Amino acid sequence: MAQFRFTVGPWNVHEGADAFGPEVRPSIPLEEKFRKFKEIGLDGVQFHDDDAVPNLNNMTEGEIIAEAKQVRAALDAQGLAAEFVAPRLWMDPHTTDGGFTSNSAEDREFAMWRARRSVDIANALGCDKIVLWLAREGTLCAESKDPVLGVRRLIDAVNEILRYDSRIKVLVEPKPNEPIDRSFCPTLGHVMGLAAATVDPDRVGAVLESAHAILAGLDPAIEIAFGIAMGKLWSVHLNDQNGMRYDQDKAFGVENLRGAFNQVKVLLDNNYGSRGEFVGLDVKVMRTQKIDDCYRHIQNSLHIFRRLEEKARQFDNAYRDKCIAERNYEKLEMYVLDLLMG
C-alpha cells in the first residue's frame, strides 16, 4: 500500500488579499514557513519561480541559480524536498494576454525565458519537474486568438522546455476558466492530447487539482483515475470547492467529503506515491484567519486526508464484490455512507 508524502506551496499561507479587499495579515518569511511546514508534518514544498527567486526578472542567470541554491540550503536544513517549480506567468505585465499563447512575439519569448529559468531553479533546488498552470493561455474575447494556433503554440512551448533540459519533466495543470474565460487546455484529457503531440511524450504528464475538475463539471476522483490509467498522473493538488463558482481552494474534504474519500481511495488503491509522487495540498487560508493560526487549513487538510485514508483501508472489498454480484448498488451506497459516518 502507498505511503503518502505531502507538499504545499508558500502561497498557501498568504496575506489575505483578494479581488475585493487588501491584505489583512503580515507576510511570513520563507524560512519560517519551511520551519512550520516541517513541524505540522509536511515532506516537501512546491514553488513558483518567484517564490524561490523573487526578483528574477532583474537578475542574471547565474544570480538566479545562486539564490535558488540558498533556498535549497534552507530546505535541507528542515529536511524538506522541493517537488516542482512553476513559472508564475499570470502575474507579470508581459503576460496580460497570455504567455506562450500571447499575440505578442515579445511576450511569448518572455514566457519562454521564465520557463527556462524555472528549469534552472528546479535543478538548483534538486527537483526534476516543472509545472505549467496555463492560467492565461486562452481567451477573454473568443475571437482575439486563433484557437488552433494557440494549441500549437502550447505544444511548441513544451517542446522548447523538453529540448532545453533532457532530464526535466513537464507537468501541465488543466483548468477550464479563470482568470481567462476559455482555456486552450481545460481538462486532463486535453493534457493527454497535448502530451502525445510533443517531441518526448514520456516526459510530459499532469497535475490534477480537485477544484479545477469541479469547475469543469467533472468528478476529481475520475480525473485522477484517468490520469493514473494513462500513466500520466505525476502530482495532485487536493482541495475542495463549493460548486462551479470561482476557484476557492478550500481545505480538502470540507465541502464534498464522499468525493474526497473517493480521491483518497483511488490514490491508495493504485499505489500512488510508490514512484516518488507527492500529494500536494493546494489549499488557501481563509481571509478571516488570524496570523497566529494561519496554518490551520493545512493541518485540517492533512487530518481529513489521513482519516479518509483510514476509511479507505477499512473498505470491505469482499462486501463490495457481493453487492456488485447482486447488482444491489443501493446497499453498496449505504455501506459507503455508513463507513464515512461511523
CA dihedral for 33, 39, 258, 210, sign (positive or negative): positive
What proportion of the chain, given as a percentage, has pLDDT over 90? 99
Question: What's this model's pTM, rounded to 2 decimal places?
Answer: 0.97
Residue 204 has φ and ψ, to the nearest 5°, of: -125, 120
Q: Taking the domains of the chain in order of start, what are their residue ranges?
A: 6-315
- At 196-235, the pLDDT tens digits run 999 999 999 999 999 999 999 999 999 999 999 999 999 9
Of 124, 226, 123, whose CA–CA distance to 174 is shortest? 226
- At 2 the pLDDT is 53
- Measured in residues, the chain has a length of 342
- At 93 the pLDDT is 93
Cβ distance 287 to 279 under 8 Å?
Answer: no
Given a cut of 80, is residue 1 above it in pLDDT?
no
- At 256-307, the pLDDT tens digits run 999 999 999 999 999 999 999 999 999 999 999 999 999 999 999 999 999 9
- Please report, to the nearest 10 degrees, the dihedral formed by the alpha carbons of residues 272, 78, 35, 27 taken in order: -90
Q: Name the band, by pLDDT with cuts 50, 70 and 90, for residue 113.
A: very high
Residues assigned a catalytic role = 48, 51
Give the integer Cα–Cα distance in Å for 78 and 5.
15
Q: Name the band, by pLDDT with cuts 50, 70 and 90, for residue 310.
A: very high
In the block, residue with C-alpha cell 464484490: 321
Q: Name the band, by pLDDT with cuts 50, 70 and 90, for residue 3.
A: confident
Give the integer Cα–Cα distance in Å for 159 and 199.
6
- At 175-187, the pLDDT tens digits run 999 999 999 999 9
Give the integer Cα–Cα distance in Å for 169 and 207.
12
Backbone Cα Rg of the chain: 20
Of 236, 257, 261, 249, whose CA–CA distance to 297 is shortest? 249
- At 127-163, the pLDDT tens digits run 999 999 999 999 999 999 999 999 999 999 999 999 9
Q: Cβ atoms within 10 A of the Cβ of 78, count?
A: 16
- At 322 the pLDDT is 98
Give the integer Cα–Cα distance in Å for 256 and 34.
29
- At 33-81, the pLDDT tens digits run 999 999 999 999 999 999 999 999 999 999 999 999 999 999 999 999 9
Q: Name the band, by pLDDT with cuts 50, 70 and 90, for residue 106.
A: very high
CATH label, 6-315, candidates 3.40.50.1000, 2.30.30.40, 3.40.50.1370, 3.20.20.150: 3.20.20.150
Give the integer Cα–Cα distance in Å for 92 and 108.
12
